[in-house]
Amino acid sequence: MFIRLIPLISLVDNSTNSRRAKAEEGVLSVVTDNSSSHIRSVLKPSPARALEFSEIKVQGATELCIVEEKTSVGKVNMQEQKIFNIEELTELCTRIEETCVGFAKFNFFQIVDATDNFSERRILGLGGFGTVYKGQLPNGLMIAIKRLDEHATVFDFDSELQLAKLQHANLTRLLGWCIHGKERILVYEFMQNGSLDHYISERTKGQVLDWSKRFKIITGLTEGLVYLHKGSMSCLVHRDLKPHNILLDYNMSPKIADFGSARTLSSDVAEERTSRVVGTSGYKAPEYASQGVYLLKTDVFSFGILVLVIISGRKNTILNKQGDTVGDLVRDAWHMWKDQRLHDLVDPLLGDRYEVAEITRCAQVALLCAQEDPADRPAMTDVAAMLNSENISLPMEPKQPTALIHGCADRDTASTYMSQSGRTIDITITSSAPMSTRVRIILDPEV
Rounded alpha-carbon distances, angstroms, from residue 94 to 130, 177, 179: 22, 9, 11
- Annotated binding residues, written as ranges, equal 146
Gap between the Cα atoms of 416 and 432, Å rounded? 12
Question: What burial class does residue 192 get, using C-beta atoms within 10 Å of its C-beta: 0-12 exposed, 13-18 middle, 19+ buried?
Answer: exposed
Indicate which residues carry an active-site annotation.
Answer: 240
- Annotated binding residues for ATP, written as ranges, equal 146
Contact 223, 170 (CB under 8 A): yes
**Is the alpha carbon torsion for 6, 8, 9, 11 positive or negative?**
negative
Question: What burial class does residue 91 get, using C-beta atoms within 10 Å of its C-beta: 0-12 exposed, 13-18 middle, 19+ buried?
Answer: exposed
